[in-house]
Structure 1
Amino acid sequence: MALRRQVEFRFLAEPTHVNFGGKVHGGMVMKWIDQVAYACAAGWSGLYCVTVSVGTIRFRHPILVGHQVELVARIVQTGTTSMQVLVQVSSFDSKGGAKQETNHCIISFVALDAEGQPAAVPAWVPQTDEDRFLEAYARKTKAFSQEVEQDMLDFYKESP
């Protein structure tokens, strides 16, 4: 089986995806992000995967009803049982207009075996300068996430 490092989803933003302001719900975008990232992680590992964390998602530009939406997910770092997936979301008006990135984030997944235990994933090795940059970005995002999570745990451990 050939490993697939990248997965792309493309579709139109529909009226059922938008809020009262006429823009796609942030929660809907997060659902799409999780779906494309899952497809990428499962495609890479060949196993069922679970989301562990989503890091630094920021909504920079709205997605409007009728716009074409493109989500690109790719493996940017692997551990023994985990994968870091970069998801980039962009949109554009089909009737004209430049494509713009609406947001991006790193999602961590762990692969599971048939018993639901963490399972080994194939290693991914960066090949280009961009690959090395994105792997470092994923590592920084993961380290930051772990640091702030520990801060939260420590705070509540010490609270009365």
Structure 2
Amino acid sequence: MPGTERQITLRFLAEPGDQNFGGKVHGGAVMRWIDLAAYACAAGWSGKYCITAYAGGIRFVKPILVGQLVEVSAKVIMTGNTSMHIALEVKAGFPTQEERHLTTRCTVIMVAVDEEGNPTPVPEWVPTEPRDLQLRDSAKRLMQLRKQLSQEEAYFPEP
């Protein structure tokens, strides 16, 4: 039911095909997993098909090794009229061990769309817990920073 599923965790095994030339999991594979989790989270919250409008602040904290179990946790931290800010954390560790360590974190903005691809309303999420209020406020600050950056990009010369 829309407006009730706020978070999700997807799990993947890091496979040999996911590795880069250095033998660690390629950042592009991690970004693909992030996009999948963001979509699942946004679709679960909105009850609609969603598209990625923005992915930013991707911070690779620690490498992921082939054979590790990867957990990608996604959580709605702010909603607009048609958009959802999704906070994501990626953790990894070997399946034979209980410990999972943080490898990556970022924020993704997803937009719900109708059958014609036009933005469509999403249920509002209203934070009540102190940590959720902090996350929402952080999303608001990041939104302001993105606006400032896009204004500065207007000064870049055209190729």
TM-score range, shorter chain: over 0.9
TM-score normalized by structure 1?
Answer: 0.92
Give the partner amino acid of 1:136: D
- C-alpha distance in 2 between matches for 1:140 and 1:100: 27
Partner of 1:108: 109
2:106 match: secondary structure: strand
Which string of whole-angstrom CA distances, capped at 9 and with x for unpartnered residues, describes residues 105-128 of structure 1?
110111111222111100001121
- C-alpha distance in 1 between matches for 2:34 and 2:60: 12
Structure 1 residue 146: Cα displacement: 2.1
Segments of 5+ residues of structure 2 without an aligned counterpart are none
Structure 1 residue 97: Cα displacement: 6.5
Bigger shift: residues 69-78 or 96-105: 96-105
Partner of 1:56: 57
Partner of 1:28: 29
- C-alpha distance in 1 between matches for 2:37 and 2:90: 10
Partner of 1:93: 94
Partner of 1:8: 9
- C-alpha distance in 2 between matches for 1:53 and 1:16: 26
- C-alpha distance in 2 between matches for 1:26 and 1:100: 16
Q: Cα RMSD (Å) of the superposition? A: 1.6
Bigger shift: residues 63-72 or 133-142: 133-142
TM-score normalized by structure 2?
Answer: 0.93
- C-alpha distance in 1 between matches for 2:142 and 2:35: 17
Report how many aligned residue pairs link the two structures: 158
Structure 1 residue 154: Cα displacement: 3.4
Q: How does 1:11-160 map to 2 (within 5 A)?
A: 11-96=12-97, 98-156=99-157
Extract structure 1 runs of 4+ deviating beyond 6 A: none
Which string of whole-angstrom CA distances, capped at 9 and with x for unpartnered residues, describes residues 82-103 of structure 1?
1000111011122337311111
Which string of whole-angstrom CA distances, capped at 9 and with x for unpartnered residues, describes residues 25-67 of structure 1?
0011001101100111111111111111112101110000011
Task: Verify the 8 A CA contact 1:55 1:145 in the aligned structure 2.
Answer: no
Segments of 5+ residues of structure 1 without an aligned counterpart are none
Task: Verify the 8 A CA contact 1:10 1:70 in the aligned structure 2.
Answer: yes
- C-alpha distance in 2 between matches for 1:133 and 1:55: 18
- Percent identical pairs in the alignment equals 46
Task: Verify the 8 A CA contact 1:14 1:65 in the aligned structure 2.
Answer: yes
1:27 match: secondary structure: helix
2:137 match: secondary structure: helix
